[in-house]
């Protein structure tokens, strides 16, 4: 079967799927405090998610990341993980993983490890309990730290994802680094992205370019650029003094589109060929139109043929260009 290749000869081997727009946090850069969540009928069922992911895997996807919202708050989500893990057993899928806020890891870590998940990404922007509650609005830091500990004990490798927020966690750069080193976690910093109707002023106030963060690291440590990729957009360095690996996801100060091998599907079945473009394809309709996968496969191939060369994210001096109207929780983190 012909694999998925986009118009710029990039093979599509990485799929990120949101299984819910709901979350037990309300992070200020991700969603509004009083979110209007989608009606249940609009969401793909767990069976539809399995069919969709399995079709992508048949078309060459080798890495599948489950996102949200918070994926572990979706009812019966472990049923989905257990069934989709059959593709790990056949070797068709090389990696099954998830991005989580960590709140439910204490409950599910052992099960996740048992079905073949080897690593998880945990979003964590501060180690200060009061600030954590402020940025997540509803979150409790001890619950997340307990979840991370449970993941480690279950044999899951944990990577910490930290959104760089000007005026919020700048002074925590080195404490976060030290904590990750002591716990054995990799750490990736992410530039805040212009997603959702959060207001231009807020985005500009939050924006901390990672070139500045990296320069601050370089004042204290020796940084060596690494050629490795994890299948995602991060660029990595090794801190020679500690041996740590630190990643930088920089959609704004460094465009990483030239090697883009991934697409995203929302919890309602919208396929976004690019995080920073509004163009999308409806996969829910072909999923529900037939119990066979022919229509679904045709819709996927047609969409991939429209995958753009790059995104439009850009922060100019006092405006946010390329701002996406949808919230990050809708598209999938």
* Confidence bin at 186 (pLDDT 50/70/90): very high
Query: Binding site annotation covers 193?
Result: yes
pLDDT > 80? residue 197: no
Least confident of 184-188, 258-262, 273-277: 273-277
pLDDT > 50? residue 317: no
Q: What is the pTM of this model?
A: 0.88
Query: Binding site annotation covers 159?
Result: yes
Query: Binding site annotation covers 267?
Result: no
Q: Has domain 14-331 been given CATH number 3.40.190.10?
A: no
Query: Binding site annotation covers 65?
Result: yes
What's the N-to-C CA distance of the chain in angstroms?
A: 30
83 or 278, which is more confident?
Answer: 83
Burial class of residue 157 (count of CB atoms within 10 Å of its CB; 0-12, 13-18, 19+): middle
Query: Binding site annotation covers 53?
Result: no
Query: Binding site annotation covers 99?
Result: yes
The per-residue pLDDT for range 224-244, each reduced to its tens digit, is 999 887 656 789 999 999 999
pLDDT > 70? residue 286: yes
Provide the mean pLDDT of the chain. Answer: 88
Query: Binding site annotation covers 263?
Result: yes
So what's the pLDDT on residue 324? 46
* Confidence bin at 26 (pLDDT 50/70/90): confident
Query: Binding site annotation covers 180?
Result: no
Mean pLDDT of 154-178: 95
Q: Which residues of 227-258 are buried (b: 16+ CB within 10 A; e: fewer)?
A: eeebebbbbbbbbeeeebbbbbbbbbeeebbe
The per-residue pLDDT for range 63-87, each reduced to its tens digit, is 999 999 999 999 999 999 999 999 9
């Amino acid at each position: 079967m012909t694999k998925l290749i986009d118009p710029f000869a990039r093979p599509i081997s990485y799929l990120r799927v949101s299984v819910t727009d709901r979350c037990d946090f309300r992070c200020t850069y991700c969603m509004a405090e009083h979110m209007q969540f989608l009606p249940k009928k609009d969401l793909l069922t767990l069976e539809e998610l399995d069919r969709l992911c399995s079709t992508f895997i048949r078309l060459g996807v080798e890495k599948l990341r489950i996102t949200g919202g918070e994926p572990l708050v979706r009812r019966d989500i472990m049923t989905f993980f257990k069934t989709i893990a059959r593709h790990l057993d056949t070797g068709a899928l090389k990696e099954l993983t998830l991005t989580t806020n960590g709140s439910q890891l204490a409950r599910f870590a052992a099960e996740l490890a048992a079905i073949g998940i080897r690593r998880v990404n945990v979003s964590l922007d501060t180690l200060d309990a009061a600030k954590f509650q402020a940025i997540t609005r509803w979150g409790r830091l001890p619950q997340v730290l307990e979840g991370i500990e449970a993941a480690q004990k279950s044999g899951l490798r944990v990577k910490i994802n930290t959104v760089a927020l000007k005026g919020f966690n700048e002074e925590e750069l080195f404490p976060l680094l030290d904590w990750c080193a002591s716990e054995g976690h990799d750490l990736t910093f992410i530039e805040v992205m212009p997603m959702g109707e959060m207001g231009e002023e807020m985005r500009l106030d939050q924006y901390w370019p990672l070139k500045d963060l990296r320069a601050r690291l370089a004042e204290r440590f020796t940084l060596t650029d690494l050629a490795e990729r994890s299948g995602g957009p991060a660029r990595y360095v090794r801190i020679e003094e500690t041996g740590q690996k630190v990643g930088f996801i920089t959609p704004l100060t460094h465009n990483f589109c030239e090697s883009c091998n991934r697409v995203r599907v929302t919890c309602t079945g919208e396929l976004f060929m690019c995080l920073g473009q509004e163009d999308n394809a409806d996969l829910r309709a072909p999923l529900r139109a037939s119990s066979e996968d022919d229509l679904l496969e045709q819709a996927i191939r047609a969409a991939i043929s429209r995958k753009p060369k790059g995104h439009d994210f850009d922060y100019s001096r006092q405006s946010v260009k390329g701002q996406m109207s949808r919230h990050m929780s809708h598209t999938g983190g």
